Amino acid sequence: MPILKIVTIPNPILRQKTKEINLKEISSREFKGLVSSMIKTMIVTDGVGLAAPQIGRGIRLAVINSKDGAFPIINPKIIKKSWARELDQEGCLSIPGVFGKVKRSKKITVAYYNQAGEKKRRSVQGLMARVMQHEIDHLDGILFIDKAVEIEDSNSKNQNEK
């Protein structure tokens, strides 16, 4: 399970819509290894989620870190969103040093496949809802900076101090 290299902006893969995964592939050793490496990479980099485009892969796969442990979401789709929305701070491993406030639904329901190929449906709220929306945006070529207000770039602050 190697640590994977995180792709950063302006890499064009971050702006591409990803392809659905053939469910026959998910039982392969290669796919299971990819999921394990993504989880390890996410944990080592202190991420709460990691989408396949962030490691240079154009497939509909993300891994999510929850209090119950990390898990993959394969071919995820948001099937329900609450009207209630919340503005909160976000950052991204692919956009280091940049943070901004993003308005997202407080509660969502996501349909996805797990690593066993079973169709799952999970309703989440709070931070977990935010993380899933952020990662699914990645799968659609959308970055948090596209939706953010009050963007802070610590990189430009550091440049000014030099």
Q: Which residues are annotated as catalytic?
A: 135
Q: Give dist(CA 102, CA 120) in Å, integer.
A: 27
List the structure tokens of 142.
Answer: 């959308």
CA nearest to 66, candidates 135, 131, 123: 131
User: What are the Cα distances from residue 59, in Å, to 19, 20, 113?
Assistant: 5, 6, 13
Q: Which residues are registered as beta bridge partners of 113?
A: 74, 119
